[in-house]
């Protein structure tokens, strides 16, 4: 019993499917998605850095989002892919804690950054004369630093608290990576009070930025409708709709995981939802922003000669 409750014992990640169906096929699919996400996000970051026309607050924030997405998908997919070809599927106690901390940090940073990006579009469309002042380089850097620091503090608190709890039983995590909600069923003591803390954190870091995005774009929509220029309307709608598509996918799936008590969680559903916000979103982000953006496509053509 003492051994089962110790903090140093390795965990076992069940993976997407508990009985190892189609491991080789899934390894191939996940590896392709991982490569596509890295290539897409690296290309977008390089384009923004190399093309002078993209040196604006909007694209600075977009480059930060791509950097986060590259790190985000790299936190879960390599271990997940390796486990498809492994019989043990084990992850050390420290490795599990580090993975949970990094994942929470990056997820929180992306949630806040998407909110700041909607503020950027709101200022650009609704208050264009004040844009150089309200979205100066100093303010943009402060936004990014604030997103990273606040999400890191939040992730550190949750990680330290969860991993000092007594784990018992088989240490089998019914997930494909170490995520806080998937670890709570393994804890030997009552975690209902702690779940309220997770709920509050989820509402602050996920729901508040999402509501701010909806409010910003509601105001943008009103201004766009009042525009006399059809070209200006189409450009504003295209930019905002792509951002809203990414934001909706990320926030809705994240809220479904982090605002429910673990008694209502379904491991199968949680894993499908986690695939959406931890893998699909980083893959789609660069393509949604670039393929529907004439400035990015123009920069790509210029860099290719």
Calpha distance 220→212 (Å, rounded):
12
Q: What is the mean pLDDT of residues 197-222?
A: 91
CA distances from 186 to 4, 263, 271, 293, 302 (A): 11, 12, 17, 46, 54
- Print burial letters for 149-183: b (CB count within 10 Å at least 16), e (below 16): ebbbebbeebbeebbebebbeebebbbbbbbbbbb
Please check whether the domain covering 11-304 is classified as CATH 3.30.300.30: no
pLDDT of 22-80, one tens digit each? 778 888 999 999 999 999 999 999 999 998 989 999 999 999 999 999 999 999 999 98
Calpha distance 215→26 (Å, rounded):
39
pTM score, whole prediction = 0.89
Asked if residue 19 has pLDDT above 70, the reply is: no
Asked if residue 125 has pLDDT above 80, the reply is: yes
Q: Where are the domains of the chain?
A: 11-304
Read off the tokens for 35: 């490569």
Read off the tokens for 270: 């949680």
């Amino acid at each position: 019993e003492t051994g089962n409750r110790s903090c140093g014992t390795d965990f076992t990640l069940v993976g997407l499917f508990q009985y190892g169906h189609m491991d080789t096929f899934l390894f191939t699919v996940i590896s392709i998605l991982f490569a596509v996400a890295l290539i897409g996000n690296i290309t977008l970051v390089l384009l923004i850095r190399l093309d002078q026309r993209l040196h604006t607050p909007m694209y600075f924030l977009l480059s930060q989002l791509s950097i986060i997405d590259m790190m985000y998908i790299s936190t879960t997919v390599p271990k997940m892919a390796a486990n498809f070809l492994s019989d043990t599927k084990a992850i050390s106690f420290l490795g599990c804690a580090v993975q949970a901390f990094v994942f929470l940090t990056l997820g929180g940073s992306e949630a806040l950054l998407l909110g700041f990006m909607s503020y950027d579009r709101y200022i650009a469309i609704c208050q264009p004369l004040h844009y150089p002042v309200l979205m100066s380089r100093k303010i943009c850097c402060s936004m990014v630093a604030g997103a990273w620091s606040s999400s890191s503090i939040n992730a550190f608190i949750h990680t330290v608290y969860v991993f000092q709890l007594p784990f018992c039983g088989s240490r089998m995590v019914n997930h494909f990576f170490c995520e806080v909600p998937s670890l709570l069923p393994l804890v030997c003591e009552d975690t209902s009070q702690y779940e309220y803390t997770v709920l509050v954190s989820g509402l602050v870091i996920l729901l508040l930025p999402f509501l701010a995005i909806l409010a910003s774009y509601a105001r943008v929509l009103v201004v766009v409708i009042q525009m006399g220029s059809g070209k200006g309307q189409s450009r504003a709608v295209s930019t905002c709709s792509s951002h809203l598509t990414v934001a909706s996918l990320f926030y809705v799936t994240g809220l479904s995981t982090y605002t429910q008590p673990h008694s209502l969680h379904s491991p199968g559903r949680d894993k499908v939802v986690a695939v959406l916000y931890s893998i699909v979103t980083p893959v789609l982000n660069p393509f949604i922003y670039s393929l529907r953006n004439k400035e990015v496509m123009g920069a790509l053509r210029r860099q290719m000669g």
